[in-house]
């Protein structure tokens, strides 16, 4: 349930996401059991026009806002959380780059038009076995060696979602020292699928969560990339633009919507189970029991509160650009609330179903597993709470004049 009246266009987007979610839901269990990649989902995303939503109008897309995409992603995730999480990598990247305009126009234009015309998908590849999450700092071990016309890239990346379907891999690299960057620099090398030396390795299909997301390892061995496709060059010691409020908003809020959607799916499934489960000793559905009603009420209340926080900050971001610099604590709060509301809902759903919830006959154990992936996306709970706490302390000190 939405707390605000949606525009006709927003309702169309929600309806599109719901239609896709219904299709995805028919095959999600099979892909989860097999750890297989749902190529057909991405065909549906392309043919339905879903991928065009986020592309700016000047490149043939629909120019959807952050709030629009939060609505879409939550509803899409109710059908298949793994696909929704994976495609979110393209969505939040294009949304961020549309606002920051930090990539050269010819490069960004080419990628956007490829998304519109061919359903191209793009994702970053930044996490490395030794480095861990790039959000914690540190330089990538993946190196770029100058060569005629460009660079040769070698390294090893992890957790690259949608890898089997990606057209563009945005590889974080370390550049050697130069006159402009005496201590070296970091950059992103945009590499197209099928380029010689690019190898995908399935290390994910038996993971605990989101098994069909295609979050593979990527191995690069002397992969050539033209110089103009090496972007985001930052001398060592400077803060890259990816860590700006724009990155936090698009990444944190759209992924919060995904996990909220999985949590709502768990609640919906628990309601269906409770309405259909009629023990012979009771003679009526367990949904009639006050204890079950209280559990479902707790689930829905928690999800509704998280959704309200998510929508409030997303609307503020979309409608009040002047607030962007002060919104990160609210963004962190929304991500924290949505992720933990989904975890709480999936736990309650298992309690309602009892032993049946532990079986593959019901989707509840999949929801329970999938929502836990939300804890791995930045900001982590600890980082989010620290940010929220600092903001509260600073506000109080400013108010009291201490």
Helix (H) or strand (E) holding 153: strand 150-160
With b meaning 16 or more CB within 10 Å and e meaning fewer, what string describes 205-220? bebebbbbbbbbbbeb
Considering Cα of 321, then 326, then 332, then 333, what sign does the dihedral take?
A: negative
Q: Is pLDDT above 80 for 324?
A: yes
* Percent share of the chain, pLDDT over 90: 91
pTM reported for the whole predicted model:
0.95
- State pLDDT tens for residues 209-224: 999 999 999 999 999 9
In the chain, the N- to C-terminal Cα span, in Å, equals 43
Q: What is the pLDDT of residue 4?
A: 66
Cβ partners under 8 Å of residue 322, min gap 6: none
Q: What is the pLDDT of residue 138?
A: 73
How far apart CA 115 and CA 55 sit, in angstroms, is: 8
Mean pLDDT over residues 92-111, rounded? 98
Structure confidence at residue 171 as a pLDDT band (50, 70, 90): very high
**Distance from the Cα of residue 378 to its chain's centroid:** 10
- Asked if 186 and 139 count as a contact pair (C-beta separation under 8 A), the reply is yes
Q: What is the pLDDT of residue 135?
A: 56
Whole-angstrom CA distances from 233 to 49, 218, 224, 239, 250 are: 33, 21, 17, 11, 21
Cβ partners under 8 Å of residue 373, min gap 6: 85, 208, 209, 210, 259
pLDDT greater at residue 180 or residue 194 = 194
Q: Is pLDDT above 80 for 268?
A: yes
DSSP string, 17-33: HHHHHHHHHTTHHHHHH
Q: What is the pLDDT of residue 133?
A: 57
- Asked if 42 and 286 count as a contact pair (C-beta separation under 8 A), the reply is no
How far apart CA 283 and CA 270 sit, in angstroms, is: 19
Mean pLDDT over residues 172-199, rounded? 95
* Percent share of the chain, pLDDT over 70: 96
For 263, other C-beta atoms within 10 Å of its C-beta total: 34
Mean pLDDT over residues 306-324, rounded? 97
Q: What is the pLDDT of residue 399?
A: 75
Q: Is pLDDT above 60 for 280?
A: yes
Q: Is pLDDT above 90 for 95?
A: yes
**Exposed, middle or buried, 91 (CB in 10 Å: 0-12/13-18/19+)?**
buried
Nearest to 18 by CA among 67, 74, 76: 76
Tokens of 43: 């065909």
For 196, other C-beta atoms within 10 Å of its C-beta total: 8
How far apart CA 336 and CA 369 sit, in angstroms, is: 17
Q: Is pLDDT above 70 for 70?
A: yes
Q: What is the pLDDT of residue 130?
A: 83
Nearest to 253 by CA among 54, 60, 91, 82: 91
Nearest to 227 by CA among 262, 194, 188: 188
Domains annotated for the chain, with CATH where assigned, are: 8-120 (1.10.540.10), 125-235 (2.40.110.10), 241-397 (1.20.140.10)
Considering Cα of 19, then 374, then 378, then 334, what sign does the dihedral take?
A: positive
- State pLDDT tens for residues 234-266: 998 776 544 689 999 999 999 999 999 999 999
Q: Is pLDDT above 50 for 344?
A: yes
Q: Is pLDDT above 80 for 10?
A: yes
Cβ partners under 8 Å of residue 63, min gap 6: 55, 56, 57, 98
- Asked if 90 and 69 count as a contact pair (C-beta separation under 8 A), the reply is no
Question: 3-state SS string over 326-358?
Answer: HCHHHHHHHHHHHHHHHHHHHHHHHHHHHHHHH
- State pLDDT tens for residues 131-162: 755 555 578 999 999 999 999 999 999 999 99
Q: What is the pLDDT of residue 242?
A: 46
Q: What is the pLDDT of residue 252?
A: 98
Q: What is the mean pLDDT of the chain?
A: 95
Structure confidence at residue 349 as a pLDDT band (50, 70, 90): very high
């Amino acid at each position: 349930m939405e707390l605000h009246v949606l525009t006709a266009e927003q309702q169309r987007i929600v309806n599109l996401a719901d239609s896709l979610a219904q299709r995805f839901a028919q095959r999600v269990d099979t892909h989860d059991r097999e750890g297989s990649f749902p190529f057909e989902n991405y065909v549906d995303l392309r043919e339905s026009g879903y991928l065009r939503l986020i592309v700016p109008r000047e490149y043939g897309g629909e120019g959807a806002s952050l709030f629009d995409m939060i609505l879409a992603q939550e509803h899409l995730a109710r059908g298949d959380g793994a696909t929704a999480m994976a495609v979110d990598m393209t969505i939040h990247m294009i949304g961020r780059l549309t606002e920051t305009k930090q990539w050269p126009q010819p490069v960004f234009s080419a990628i956007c038009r490829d998304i519109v015309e061919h359903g191209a998908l793009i994702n970053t590849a930044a996490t490395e076995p030794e480095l861990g999450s790039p959000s914690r700092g540190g330089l990538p071990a993946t190196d770029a060696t100058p060569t005629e016309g460009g660079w040769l890239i070698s390294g090893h990346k992890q957790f690259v979602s949608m890898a089997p379907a990606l057209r563009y891999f945005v590889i974080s690299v370390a550049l050697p020292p130069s006159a402009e960057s005496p201590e070296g620099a970091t950059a992103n090398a945009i590499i197209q699928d099928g380029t010689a030396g690019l190898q995908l390795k399935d290390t994910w299909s038996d993971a605990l969560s989101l098994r069909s997301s295609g979050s593979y390892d990527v191995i690069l061995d002397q992969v050539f990339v033209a110089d103009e496709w090496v972007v985001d060059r930052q001398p060592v010691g400077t803060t890259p633009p990816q860590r700006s409020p724009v990155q936090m908003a698009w990444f944190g809020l759209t992924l919060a919507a995904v996990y909220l959607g999985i949590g709502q799916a768990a609640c919906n499934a628990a309601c269906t189970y409770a309405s259909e489960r009629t023990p012979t000793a009771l003679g009526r559905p367990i949904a009639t029991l006050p204890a079950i009603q209280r559990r479902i009420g707790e689930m829905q209340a928690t999800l509704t509160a998280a959704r309200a926080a998510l929508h409030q900050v997303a609307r503020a971001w979309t409608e009040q650009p002047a607030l962007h610099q002060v919104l990160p604590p609210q963004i962190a709060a929304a991500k924290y609330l949505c992720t933990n509301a989904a975890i709480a809902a999936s736990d309650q759903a298992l309690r309602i179903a009892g032993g049946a919830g532990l079986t593959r006959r019901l989707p509840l154990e999949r929801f329970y597993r999938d929502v836990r992936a939300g804890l791995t996306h930045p900001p982590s709970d600890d980082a989010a709470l620290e940010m929220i706490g600092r903001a509260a302390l600073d506000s109080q000190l400013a108010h009291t004049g201490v």
